[in-house]
Amino acid sequence: MSKAPRLGKGLSALLGDATAASQDSARTLPIASLRPGPFQARGPMDQGALEELAASIRRHGVLQPILVRPAADGTFEIIGGERRWRAAQAAQLHEVPVLVRDFDDGEAMAAGLVENLQREDLNAVEEAEGYQRLIDQFGLTQLALSEAVGKSRPHISNTLRLLGLPERVRELVRDGALSAGHARAVIGAA
């Protein structure tokens, strides 16, 4: 059985050689030295899912390093992995594995979104909001964005259409009460 395809060109398509030129530094840091970054792609975190992740982390540890960048105050800002960080706190860990990258704000936003898209656990509205932020931040066309994240241009276009829904309907999609497909049908009927 073959694995599901990963995202296309990823960050290198958005950031050029910035990811290759960045000096990766994998290490373990005190959990208290990390703080949430401003570019969180997700909405509010489900407490039950967070508790399940904390239980898994107690048993197996943090399996994927948290992506961080150095902050001016000596702490590290989380770019990707805030759920893992919060669950590690709940599991009462004192240190977590991290991957330190020296990203500017635009690179940090793109990296956080691409990491979450690769994990494929954003809801459709969060995905659409992330795509729109990348379009706005980097001036991308839908085609360029589709190549960068490895999704088809029609997928990007159809996902972005969800942003035209009233907020009440977008909340139903966020909460899982309405599928993205049904939400798009609402757009078509309007």
Contacting residues for 176 by C-beta, under 8 A, at least 6 apart: 123
CATH code of the domain made up of 123-190: 1.10.10.2830
**pLDDT for 4:** 39
For 55-109, the pLDDT digits (tens) are 999 999 998 899 999 999 999 999 999 989 999 999 999 999 999 999 888 788 8
Fold observed for domain 10-121: 3.90.1530
pTM > 0.85: no
Query: What pLDDT digit, counting tens, does each position of 12-27 carry?
Result: 555 554 444 444 668 9
Give me the active site residues, please: 82
Partners of 78 in the beta sheet?
36, 68
Segments in the chain forming alpha helices (H): 10-15, 18-21, 47-60, 82-90, 105-119, 124-138, 142-149, 153-161, 167-174, 180-189
Contact 116, 40 (CB under 8 A): no
**What whole-number distance in Å separates Cα of residue 124 and Cα of residue 6?**
18
The structural domains of the chain, with segments of one domain joined by +, span 10-121, 123-190
107-123 residues labelled b (16+ CB within 10 A) or e (exposed): bbbbbbbbbbbeeeebb
Query: Which tokens is 162 given?
Result: 């969800």
User: C-alpha angle 150/152/154, rounded to 5°?
Assistant: 150
pLDDT digits (tens, 9 = 90+) for 138-175: 888 999 888 877 789 999 999 999 999 999 999 999 88
